[in-house]
Amino acid sequence: MVMKLNQLLEIEFPIIQGGMANIATGDFAADVSNAGALGIIGAGGMRAEEFQRQIRRCKEKTRKPFGVNIMLMNPDADRMAQIAIEEQVPVITTGAGNPGKYMEGWKAAGIKVFPVVSAVALGKRLASLGADGVIAEGCESGGHIGELTTMALVPQMREAVTAPVIAAGGIAGGRQLLAAFALGACGVQVGTCLLVSQECPIHENYKQAILRARDNDTIVTGRSVGAPVRCLKNAMTREYVRQEKAGADLMELEKFTLGSLRRAVAEGDVKNGSLMAGQVAGQLKEILPLRRIFENMMESYEEVRGRI
Ligand code: TUI
Protein backbone atom coordinates (compact mmCIF):
# COMPACT_ATOMS: atom_id res chain seq x y z
CA MET A 1 0.00 0.00 0.00
CA VAL A 2 1.44 3.37 -0.97
CA MET A 3 1.71 6.07 1.66
CA LYS A 4 -1.00 8.66 1.94
CA LEU A 5 0.03 12.21 1.14
CA ASN A 6 -0.31 13.34 4.76
CA GLN A 7 2.21 10.68 5.88
CA LEU A 8 4.53 11.56 3.01
CA LEU A 9 4.53 15.24 3.99
CA GLU A 10 4.07 14.83 7.75
CA ILE A 11 0.91 16.89 7.78
CA GLU A 12 -2.59 16.25 9.16
CA PHE A 13 -4.72 16.09 6.00
CA PRO A 14 -3.85 14.61 2.55
CA ILE A 15 -4.34 18.01 0.96
CA ILE A 16 -1.96 20.40 -0.84
CA GLN A 17 -2.96 23.98 -1.61
CA GLY A 18 -2.69 24.99 -5.27
CA GLY A 19 -0.14 27.60 -6.35
CA MET A 20 -2.62 30.42 -7.03
CA ALA A 21 -0.50 33.21 -8.49
CA ASN A 22 -1.14 36.69 -7.06
CA ILE A 23 -3.22 35.15 -4.28
CA ALA A 24 -1.19 32.72 -2.19
CA THR A 25 1.08 34.97 -0.13
CA GLY A 26 3.45 33.80 2.60
CA ASP A 27 0.78 34.69 5.14
CA PHE A 28 -1.88 32.64 3.39
CA ALA A 29 0.40 29.64 2.89
CA ALA A 30 1.24 29.71 6.60
CA ASP A 31 -2.47 29.86 7.44
CA VAL A 32 -3.12 26.80 5.27
CA SER A 33 -0.24 24.89 6.88
CA ASN A 34 -1.38 25.89 10.36
CA ALA A 35 -4.86 24.57 9.45
CA GLY A 36 -3.43 21.10 8.74
CA ALA A 37 -2.85 20.98 4.95
CA LEU A 38 0.29 21.94 2.99
CA GLY A 39 0.35 25.69 2.34
CA ILE A 40 2.06 26.84 -0.84
CA ILE A 41 3.41 30.31 -1.68
CA GLY A 42 2.31 31.10 -5.24
CA ALA A 43 5.30 32.74 -6.94
CA GLY A 44 3.37 33.26 -10.19
CA GLY A 45 2.93 37.01 -10.08
CA MET A 46 6.05 37.83 -8.02
CA ARG A 47 9.59 38.96 -8.70
CA ALA A 48 12.47 37.09 -7.05
CA GLU A 49 13.00 39.60 -4.20
CA GLU A 50 9.33 39.50 -3.25
CA PHE A 51 9.40 35.70 -3.39
CA GLN A 52 12.21 35.61 -0.85
CA ARG A 53 10.35 38.03 1.46
CA GLN A 54 7.22 35.89 1.29
CA ILE A 55 9.17 32.73 2.16
CA ARG A 56 10.65 34.47 5.21
CA ARG A 57 7.21 35.74 6.24
CA CYS A 58 5.78 32.22 5.95
CA LYS A 59 8.58 30.79 8.11
CA GLU A 60 7.82 33.40 10.79
CA LYS A 61 4.17 32.45 10.87
CA THR A 62 4.29 28.65 10.86
CA ARG A 63 6.48 25.85 12.15
CA LYS A 64 4.62 23.31 10.01
CA PRO A 65 5.82 22.13 6.58
CA PHE A 66 5.01 24.49 3.70
CA GLY A 67 5.99 24.82 0.07
CA VAL A 68 6.41 27.18 -2.86
CA ASN A 69 4.94 26.97 -6.34
CA ILE A 70 7.29 28.14 -9.05
CA MET A 71 5.33 29.13 -12.15
CA LEU A 72 7.81 28.30 -14.89
CA MET A 73 6.67 31.01 -17.29
CA ASN A 74 7.77 33.56 -14.68
CA PRO A 75 10.83 35.46 -16.01
CA ASP A 76 12.45 35.10 -12.56
CA ALA A 77 11.95 31.31 -12.39
CA ASP A 78 15.71 30.56 -12.53
CA ARG A 79 16.43 32.86 -9.60
CA MET A 80 13.46 31.55 -7.66
CA ALA A 81 14.69 27.98 -8.17
CA GLN A 82 17.93 29.02 -6.46
CA ILE A 83 16.26 31.06 -3.70
CA ALA A 84 14.11 28.05 -2.77
CA ILE A 85 17.34 26.10 -2.19
CA GLU A 86 19.01 28.88 -0.20
CA GLU A 87 15.93 29.29 1.98
CA GLN A 88 15.71 25.51 2.54
CA VAL A 89 12.07 25.38 1.49
CA PRO A 90 10.71 21.92 2.40
CA VAL A 91 8.51 21.39 -0.69
CA ILE A 92 8.39 22.74 -4.26
CA THR A 93 5.52 22.42 -6.70
CA THR A 94 5.82 23.76 -10.25
CA GLY A 95 3.34 24.76 -12.93
CA ALA A 96 2.99 25.79 -16.54
CA GLY A 97 6.15 24.13 -17.81
CA ASN A 98 8.86 21.52 -17.49
CA PRO A 99 11.07 21.87 -14.36
CA GLY A 100 13.49 19.14 -15.53
CA LYS A 101 16.58 21.37 -15.47
CA TYR A 102 16.08 22.20 -11.78
CA MET A 103 15.41 18.68 -10.49
CA GLU A 104 19.01 17.70 -9.73
CA GLY A 105 19.71 20.84 -7.68
CA TRP A 106 16.46 20.58 -5.77
CA LYS A 107 16.93 16.89 -4.98
CA ALA A 108 20.53 17.49 -3.87
CA ALA A 109 19.21 20.14 -1.46
CA GLY A 110 16.82 17.58 0.05
CA ILE A 111 13.70 19.37 -1.18
CA LYS A 112 10.55 17.34 -1.88
CA VAL A 113 9.45 18.10 -5.45
CA PHE A 114 5.93 17.70 -6.82
CA PRO A 115 5.56 19.05 -10.36
CA VAL A 116 2.05 19.86 -11.54
CA VAL A 117 1.47 18.30 -14.96
CA SER A 118 -1.52 17.98 -17.24
CA ALA A 119 -0.41 14.98 -19.33
CA VAL A 120 1.23 11.60 -18.70
CA ALA A 121 4.41 12.02 -20.77
CA LEU A 122 5.84 14.87 -18.68
CA GLY A 123 4.78 13.14 -15.46
CA LYS A 124 6.76 10.04 -16.47
CA ARG A 125 9.80 12.09 -17.40
CA LEU A 126 9.83 14.03 -14.12
CA ALA A 127 9.24 10.89 -12.06
CA SER A 128 12.31 9.37 -13.75
CA LEU A 129 14.27 12.51 -12.78
CA GLY A 130 13.41 11.93 -9.12
CA ALA A 131 10.15 13.80 -8.50
CA ASP A 132 8.74 12.76 -5.12
CA GLY A 133 5.29 12.67 -6.67
CA VAL A 134 3.37 14.18 -9.57
CA ILE A 135 0.33 16.36 -9.26
CA ALA A 136 -1.97 15.32 -12.10
CA GLU A 137 -4.15 18.34 -12.80
CA GLY A 138 -7.31 17.95 -14.85
CA CYS A 139 -8.92 20.72 -16.88
CA GLU A 140 -11.67 21.25 -14.29
CA SER A 141 -9.09 23.44 -12.53
CA GLY A 142 -9.00 27.19 -12.51
CA GLY A 143 -6.21 29.12 -14.19
CA HIS A 144 -3.83 27.66 -16.77
CA ILE A 145 -4.98 24.16 -17.73
CA GLY A 146 -4.29 21.22 -20.02
CA GLU A 147 -6.64 19.10 -22.12
CA LEU A 148 -7.59 16.04 -20.04
CA THR A 149 -10.12 15.76 -17.24
CA THR A 150 -9.06 14.58 -13.79
CA MET A 151 -11.17 11.45 -14.29
CA ALA A 152 -9.20 10.48 -17.40
CA LEU A 153 -5.76 11.76 -16.37
CA VAL A 154 -5.25 10.44 -12.84
CA PRO A 155 -5.71 6.69 -13.53
CA GLN A 156 -3.49 6.90 -16.62
CA MET A 157 -0.80 8.67 -14.58
CA ARG A 158 -1.17 6.06 -11.81
CA GLU A 159 -0.49 3.29 -14.35
CA ALA A 160 2.47 5.13 -15.89
CA VAL A 161 4.55 6.05 -12.83
CA THR A 162 5.48 4.36 -9.56
CA ALA A 163 5.84 7.72 -7.79
CA PRO A 164 2.87 8.96 -5.74
CA VAL A 165 0.15 10.72 -7.75
CA ILE A 166 -1.80 13.66 -6.36
CA ALA A 167 -5.11 14.51 -8.03
CA ALA A 168 -6.03 18.11 -8.82
CA GLY A 169 -8.88 19.76 -10.69
CA GLY A 170 -12.53 19.45 -9.72
CA ILE A 171 -11.90 18.72 -6.05
CA ALA A 172 -13.61 20.70 -3.31
CA GLY A 173 -15.41 18.19 -1.11
CA GLY A 174 -15.37 14.76 0.50
CA ARG A 175 -16.96 12.94 -2.45
CA GLN A 176 -14.24 14.20 -4.75
CA LEU A 177 -11.51 13.34 -2.23
CA LEU A 178 -12.85 9.79 -2.03
CA ALA A 179 -13.04 9.62 -5.83
CA ALA A 180 -9.43 10.82 -6.09
CA PHE A 181 -8.29 7.86 -3.94
CA ALA A 182 -10.35 5.54 -6.13
CA LEU A 183 -8.63 6.94 -9.23
CA GLY A 184 -5.23 6.03 -7.76
CA ALA A 185 -4.18 9.26 -6.06
CA CYS A 186 -2.63 9.38 -2.56
CA GLY A 187 -4.03 12.86 -1.91
CA VAL A 188 -5.34 15.99 -3.57
CA GLN A 189 -4.43 19.55 -4.47
CA VAL A 190 -7.22 22.12 -4.09
CA GLY A 191 -7.44 25.80 -4.96
CA THR A 192 -10.89 27.13 -5.75
CA CYS A 193 -12.48 25.96 -2.48
CA LEU A 194 -9.83 27.93 -0.57
CA LEU A 195 -10.67 31.17 -2.37
CA VAL A 196 -13.78 31.33 -0.19
CA SER A 197 -11.89 30.88 3.08
CA GLN A 198 -11.94 33.70 5.62
CA GLU A 199 -8.16 33.86 5.47
CA CYS A 200 -7.85 34.13 1.68
CA PRO A 201 -6.52 37.62 0.88
CA ILE A 202 -8.55 38.19 -2.31
CA HIS A 203 -11.03 41.05 -2.61
CA GLU A 204 -14.47 40.40 -1.10
CA ASN A 205 -16.08 40.90 -4.56
CA TYR A 206 -14.05 37.98 -5.92
CA LYS A 207 -15.25 35.74 -3.07
CA GLN A 208 -18.87 36.76 -3.62
CA ALA A 209 -18.55 36.07 -7.37
CA ILE A 210 -17.39 32.53 -6.56
CA LEU A 211 -20.31 32.04 -4.16
CA ARG A 212 -22.77 33.28 -6.81
CA ALA A 213 -21.31 31.04 -9.52
CA ARG A 214 -23.28 28.08 -10.79
CA ASP A 215 -21.94 24.92 -12.42
CA ASN A 216 -21.85 26.46 -15.90
CA ASP A 217 -20.31 29.76 -14.97
CA THR A 218 -16.66 29.09 -15.82
CA ILE A 219 -15.19 29.30 -19.32
CA VAL A 220 -11.84 28.45 -20.89
CA THR A 221 -10.34 31.33 -22.84
CA GLY A 222 -7.30 31.18 -25.09
CA ARG A 223 -7.40 27.55 -26.26
CA SER A 224 -7.06 28.61 -29.90
CA VAL A 225 -3.76 30.39 -29.17
CA GLY A 226 -2.30 27.72 -26.89
CA ALA A 227 -2.96 29.60 -23.64
CA PRO A 228 -6.01 27.92 -22.11
CA VAL A 229 -7.11 29.60 -18.87
CA ARG A 230 -10.29 28.84 -16.93
CA CYS A 231 -12.05 31.65 -15.11
CA LEU A 232 -15.52 32.86 -14.20
CA LYS A 233 -17.48 34.29 -17.11
CA ASN A 234 -17.70 38.09 -17.11
CA ALA A 235 -17.32 41.11 -19.41
CA MET A 236 -13.57 40.38 -19.70
CA THR A 237 -14.07 36.79 -20.90
CA ARG A 238 -16.81 37.87 -23.34
CA GLU A 239 -14.47 40.44 -24.88
CA TYR A 240 -11.61 37.92 -24.89
CA VAL A 241 -13.74 35.36 -26.75
CA ARG A 242 -14.82 38.05 -29.21
CA GLN A 243 -11.20 38.96 -29.97
CA GLU A 244 -10.19 35.28 -30.11
CA LYS A 245 -12.96 34.56 -32.66
CA ALA A 246 -11.91 37.62 -34.64
CA GLY A 247 -8.49 35.97 -35.05
CA ALA A 248 -6.41 37.90 -32.50
CA ASP A 249 -3.00 36.32 -31.90
CA LEU A 250 -1.45 35.37 -28.54
CA MET A 251 0.43 38.67 -28.22
CA GLU A 252 -2.67 40.80 -28.68
CA LEU A 253 -4.67 38.63 -26.28
CA GLU A 254 -1.92 38.72 -23.67
CA LYS A 255 -1.82 42.48 -23.94
CA PHE A 256 -5.56 42.54 -23.34
CA THR A 257 -5.34 40.38 -20.19
CA LEU A 258 -2.18 41.96 -18.78
CA GLY A 259 -2.73 42.68 -15.09
CA SER A 260 -6.30 41.36 -15.18
CA LEU A 261 -5.78 38.81 -12.40
CA ARG A 262 -4.38 41.52 -10.18
CA ARG A 263 -7.39 43.73 -10.97
CA ALA A 264 -9.70 41.00 -9.72
CA VAL A 265 -7.66 40.02 -6.66
CA ALA A 266 -6.62 43.46 -5.40
CA GLU A 267 -9.31 45.82 -6.70
CA GLY A 268 -12.30 43.49 -6.79
CA ASP A 269 -12.99 44.36 -10.41
CA VAL A 270 -15.30 41.43 -11.13
CA LYS A 271 -16.28 42.82 -14.56
CA ASN A 272 -12.93 43.43 -16.21
CA GLY A 273 -10.70 41.31 -14.00
CA SER A 274 -9.65 37.71 -14.53
CA LEU A 275 -11.49 35.67 -11.87
CA MET A 276 -9.57 32.41 -12.15
CA ALA A 277 -11.67 29.58 -10.70
CA GLY A 278 -12.33 25.89 -11.28
CA GLN A 279 -15.56 24.13 -12.22
CA VAL A 280 -16.24 23.41 -8.55
CA ALA A 281 -17.04 27.11 -7.98
CA GLY A 282 -20.73 26.16 -8.35
CA GLN A 283 -20.63 23.90 -5.28
CA LEU A 284 -19.22 26.51 -2.89
CA LYS A 285 -21.87 28.14 -0.74
CA GLU A 286 -20.25 29.95 2.17
CA ILE A 287 -17.12 31.61 3.48
CA LEU A 288 -15.51 29.50 6.19
CA PRO A 289 -12.25 29.38 8.14
CA LEU A 290 -9.60 27.20 6.43
CA ARG A 291 -9.64 24.69 9.26
CA ARG A 292 -13.39 24.17 8.83
CA ILE A 293 -13.06 23.72 5.06
CA PHE A 294 -10.55 20.91 5.57
CA GLU A 295 -12.55 19.34 8.43
CA ASN A 296 -15.75 19.42 6.37
CA MET A 297 -13.96 17.73 3.50
CA MET A 298 -12.60 14.98 5.74
CA GLU A 299 -15.92 14.47 7.58
CA SER A 300 -17.86 14.23 4.34
CA TYR A 301 -15.20 11.86 2.95
CA GLU A 302 -15.61 9.52 5.94
CA GLU A 303 -19.39 9.68 5.75
CA VAL A 304 -19.61 8.93 2.03
CA ARG A 305 -17.00 6.19 2.30
CA GLY A 306 -19.02 4.50 5.06
CA ARG A 307 -22.20 4.76 3.02
CA ILE A 308 -20.88 3.24 -0.19
O1 TUI B 1 0.09 26.36 -13.72
C2 TUI B 1 -1.04 26.05 -13.47
N3 TUI B 1 -2.04 26.94 -13.32
C4 TUI B 1 -1.88 28.29 -13.39
S5 TUI B 1 -0.44 29.11 -13.63
C6 TUI B 1 -1.23 30.57 -13.58
S7 TUI B 1 -0.40 32.09 -13.75
C8 TUI B 1 -0.98 32.63 -15.23
N9 TUI B 1 -1.45 33.85 -15.25
C10 TUI B 1 -1.94 34.34 -16.37
C11 TUI B 1 -1.96 33.61 -17.53
C12 TUI B 1 -1.51 32.35 -17.53
C13 TUI B 1 -1.02 31.83 -16.35
C14 TUI B 1 -2.55 30.36 -13.37
N15 TUI B 1 -2.88 29.10 -13.26
N16 TUI B 1 -1.38 24.75 -13.35
C17 TUI B 1 -0.42 23.72 -13.55
C18 TUI B 1 -0.36 23.34 -14.95
N19 TUI B 1 0.76 23.13 -15.56
N20 TUI B 1 -1.38 23.17 -15.79
C21 TUI B 1 -0.86 22.81 -16.98
C22 TUI B 1 0.49 22.77 -16.83
C23 TUI B 1 1.51 22.43 -17.76
C24 TUI B 1 1.39 22.73 -19.10
C25 TUI B 1 2.43 22.40 -19.97
C26 TUI B 1 2.66 21.83 -17.29
C27 TUI B 1 3.67 21.51 -18.14
C28 TUI B 1 3.55 21.79 -19.46
O29 TUI B 1 4.59 21.38 -20.20
C30 TUI B 1 4.96 22.02 -21.34
C31 TUI B 1 6.32 21.53 -21.64
O32 TUI B 1 7.23 22.34 -21.66
O33 TUI B 1 6.47 20.30 -21.77
**Tens-digit pLDDT profile for residues 8-36:** 999 999 999 999 999 999 999 999 999 99
Question: Are the CB atoms for 52 and 87 separated by under 8 Å?
Answer: yes
Report the nearest atom of ligand 1 relative to the CA of 116.
17
> Residue 61 C-alpha to ligand 1 middle, in angstroms?
28
Concatenated DSSP letters of 145-192: --SS-HHHHHHHHHHH-SS-EEEESS--SHHHHHHHHHTT-SEEEE-H
Mean pLDDT score, 208-227: 97
Span 243-264, mean pLDDT? 92
Q: What is the mean pLDDT of the chain?
A: 97
Closest residue CA from atom 12 of ligand 1: 144
Nearest CA to ligand 1 atom 15: 143
Q: Is the pLDDT of residue 135 over 60?
A: yes
CA distances from 228 to 14, 129, 259 (A): 28, 27, 17
Q: Is the confidence at residue 4, as pLDDT, over 80?
A: yes
pLDDT at 259 over 80: yes
Q: Whose CA is nearest to atom 22 of ligand 1?
A: 96
The C-alpha torsion from 79 through 82 and 88 to 91, rounded to 10°, is 80
Quote the percentage of the chain above a pLDDT of 90. Answer: 97
Determine the distance separating the centroid of ligand 1 and the alpha carbon of 98, expressed in angstroms: 9
Of the candidate ranges 105-119, 202-216, 241-255, the one whose mean pLDDT is the lowest? 241-255
Considering only CA atoms, which residue is closest to atom 4 of ligand 1? 144
Q: How far is the CA of 302 from the centre of ligand 1 (A)?
A: 32
What is the reported pLDDT for 210?
98
Who contacts 263 (Cβ-Cβ below 8 Å, separation ≥6)?
269, 272, 273, 274
**Would you say residue 105 has pLDDT above 60?**
yes
Q: Which atom in ligand 1 lies closest to the alpha carbon of residue 72?
A: 1
Per the CB < 8 A criterion, the answer to whether 221 and 308 are in contact is no
Strand order in the sheet with 134-137: 15-17, 187-190, 165-168, 134-137, 112-117, 91-95, 66-71, 39-42
**What average pLDDT does the segment 142-147 reach?**
97
10 Å CB burial of residue 10 (0-12, 13-18, 19+) is exposed
When mean pLDDT is compared across 103-117, 152-166, 247-261, 273-287, the lowest value belongs to 247-261
Helices 48-61 and 26-34 cross at an angle (nearest 10°) of 30
DSSP label of 277: -
pLDDT, average across residues 234-250 = 95
CA–CA distance, 154 with 134 (Å, rounded to integer): 10
Cα of 136 to ligand 1 centre, how many Å?
A: 12
| Dist. CA 303 → ligand 1 center (Å) | 34
**pLDDT tens-digit series, residues 282-300:** 999 999 999 999 999 999 9
Q: Is the pLDDT of residue 2 over 80?
A: no
- CA 85 – ligand 1 centroid, Å: 22
Candidate from 70, 144, 274 with most ligand 1 atoms within 8 A of CB, to mutate: 144
User: How many angstroms separate the CA atoms of 130 and 137, rounded?
Assistant: 19
- Please determine, for residue 279, whether its predicted confidence score (pLDDT) is greater than 60: yes
Q: Read off the pLDDT of residues 68-99 as tens digits, 9 standing for 90 and up.
A: 999 999 999 999 999 999 999 999 999 999 99
The contacts of residue 211 (CB under 8 Å, 6+ apart) are 196, 284, 285, 286, 287
Task: Flag the least confident range among 19-23, 139-143, 256-260.
Answer: 256-260
Instruction: Determine the distance separating the centroid of ligand 1 and the alpha carbon of 116, expressed in angstroms.
Output: 8
Is the distance from CB of 131 to CB of 102 less than 8 angstroms? no
Query: Residue 23 in contact with residue 201, Cβ under 8 Å?
Result: yes
Q: Please give the average per-residue pLDDT across 46-55, as a whole number.
A: 98
pLDDT class of 121 with cuts at 50, 70, 90: very high
- The Å distance, Cα 220 to ligand 1 centre, comes to 13
Please name the residues in contact with 160: beta carbons below 8 A apart, sequence gap of 6 or more. 120, 123, 124
Mean predicted confidence (pLDDT) in 119-132: 98
Percent of the chain residues topping a pLDDT of 70: 99
Q: Residue 197 above 70 pLDDT?
A: yes
Ligand 1 binding site (Cβ under 6 Å of any ligand atom): 21, 44, 71, 95-98, 116-118, 122, 137, 143-146, 229, 261, 276
The answer, yes or no, to whether residue 1 has pLDDT greater than 80, is no
The protein residue with its alpha carbon nearest to ligand 1, atom 23, reads 96
Q: Ligand 1 centre and the CA of 235: distance in Å?
A: 24
Q: Give the pLDDT score at 3.
A: 87
Is the pLDDT score of 64 beyond 60?
yes
Provide the residue type at 59 as one letter: K
The atom of ligand 1 lying closest to the CA of 142 is: 15
Q: What are 165's strand-pairing partners?
A: 134
